Structure 1
Amino acid sequence: MAAAQTPHSQRRRRQLQAMGIQPWRLRAQPQLAGASPQAADPEAGVGCVVVVPASCETRIRDLLMRALRSGGPELARVGCVTGGGGVLPSAGCYLLLDAGLEAEVLAHRPQAQRHVLASPSRLLTAAGKRELWQSLREIRRQLATGVAA
């Protein structure tokens, strides 16, 4: 069931084809009968949250965000908050960039899964990046199976 194309969309399609670009269209997600986006429970929280210390450098945050974006759509949507403020969003899983933040998460969400990295500066080393990738792989598995939701 193709929608009628406007002259603008036809022109755009021709220009993209001339440049060798294959246009893609996102398909609408099928909704279950009776389900609506507003029906979601706001208290349910999110799948995963990354908690960084307040003293975390910008380049480490950038490295972390690039790693999350490269991990697929599940990880690209992960929220990032600064720890130490006492308020954490509800989540099934937390990635902590400092071992000192674990006590804060335990106090607020003792049932949540936690992945703790030693320190933010360790992410600049090969071993730290390896730990990050292993944690992200495990988080991605948890999000896919619904364990962290």
Structure 2
Amino acid sequence: MPVRRGRHLRALGLVPWVLRESRTAAVVDQAPPATASHACVLVLPQDGQPRAQDVLGRALLAAGAPFARAPRLVLAEGRLAEPVPVAAAYLVFGEPQARALGERLSAETLGKARIVLVDAPSTLLEAHGKRALWTALRQLRRVLTQDAG
């Protein structure tokens, strides 16, 4: 891994992944809490710029397995068409998506889950959007690590 990339990831509070041995893989691939079927679920708007979607995908891969493998729900016509899985955390991109998620989840699930709202993926092409996403990912990663440990 290039030294500069590793330095940037560590400055953002992320641990660069390097395949070494099975003990490292167990630490990186943390299990979700027992009550949730997923560690994290992403709720995205329907239309997105391809470049912004690419930046989002790379950020999720860099943040770790709970985010890279997270189910993605897409808002279509103001509603979430798919059933919403129970998760320890929800990363929601935009206020319309947050409203739709709130309508679909039970009060019990809303009370137990950690819900983080960030701007729509189109803002990821600007510095403040990337910064907000990294902050949200770090926050959720800490929460998921504490729940798993």
Q: Structure 2 length normalisation: TM-score? A: 0.65
Would the aligned equivalents of 2:74 and 2:80 in 1 still touch at CA under 8 Å? yes
RMSD after superposition: 2.6
Say whether residues 1:104 and 2:69 are aligned partners: no
2:22 to 21, 26, 47: 26
Say if 2:124 and 2:130, in contact at 8 Å, map to a contact too: yes
Larger-gyration structure (1/2)? 1
One-letter code aligned to 1:126: A
Instruction: Kindly indicate whether residue 134 of structure 2 is the aligned counterpart of residue 133 of structure 1.
Output: yes
1:55 and 2:60 correspond: no
Q: Is the 8 A contact 2:44 2:93 kept in 1?
A: yes
Structure 1 gaps of 5+ residues are: 1-22, 30-40
Q: Counterpart in 1 of 2:145? A: 144
Unmatched 5+ stretches in structure 2: 1-18, 27-33
Indicate the structure whose relative CO is greater, using CA pairs within 8 Å and at least 6 residues apart: 2
Change in CA separation of 1:130 and 1:26 when aligned onto 2, cut-off 3 Å? same
Between the aligned partners of 1:72 and 1:101, the Cα distance in structure 2 is 23
Equivalenced residues, count: 114
Task: Give the ranges of 4+ consecutive aligned residues of structure 1 lying more than 3 Å apart after TM superposition.
Answer: 23-29
1:85 maps to 2:95:
no
Is the Cα contact below 8 Å between 2:38 and 2:88 reproduced in 1? yes
Percent sequence identity is 32
In 2, distance between residues paired with 1:76 and 1:121? Answer: 19
**Counterpart amino acid of 2:84?**
L
Which of the two has greater helix per residue?
2
Give 1:113 deviation, angstroms: 1.9
TM-score, L = length of structure 1: 0.65
The aligned amino acid for 2:120 is: S
Q: 1 CA distance for matches of 2:36 and 2:114? A: 15
Aligned partners of 1:76 and 1:119: how far apart in 2? Answer: 18
